Structure 1
Amino acid sequence: MNVNTAAVSGSMAIGLGFSQLGEFFAALDRPFMSKSTWKSRQEQVSTVFQEVANKEMEKAAKDGAILARKCVDVD
């Protein structure tokens, strides 16, 4: 994962946006990515986040169904 993608991923995880991350990079005296690069990376990261979330929800539903059958708690 390149540094821009990692920065966007981390900032999304803690709720920072483009401006806030830019301020953080400025405080570090480091160059920051352009708005178009940010948007591109954000779309990539959002897609991966969504795919992982969907897989985890499917797994949780399957696990829940297995537990319900074991407990004979199925409607």
Structure 2
Amino acid sequence: MGARLGLFSCLLPMSLMFVARLFMALLFVAVVLMELVGDVVLGLHQVLLEFLLGIPAPACGVPQFTR
């Protein structure tokens, strides 16, 4: 019984660390995918503004200052 308890007390923290690291890796992948999808949506929005409606869209990431 003592050997089983020792093995369990060793494996439980290791499995919890594995699950935590897996969650962090999946979270990183989800953030990267959201950034890519956002870039595509912003690009399509600029295409719609420029070509379909004839409105010049500002470049990405360039702040527009007006007086």
TM-score (norm 1): 0.50
How much does 1:34 deviate? 2.6
Query: Computing the radius of gyration over CA atoms, which structure comes out larger, 1 or 2?
Result: 2
**TM-align CA RMSD:** 1.8
> 1:42 is aligned with what amino acid?
F
- The one of 48, 55, 65 aligned to 1:73: 55
Where in structure 1 are there 5+ consecutive unaligned residues? 1-32
What is the percentage of aligned positions where both structures have the same residue?
Answer: 9
Structure 1 stretches of 4+ moved >4 Å: none
Where in structure 2 are there 5+ consecutive unaligned residues? 1-13, 58-67
Instruction: Tell which has more relative contact order, 1 or 2 (C-alpha 8 A, sep 6+).
Output: 1
How much does 1:74 deviate? 3.5
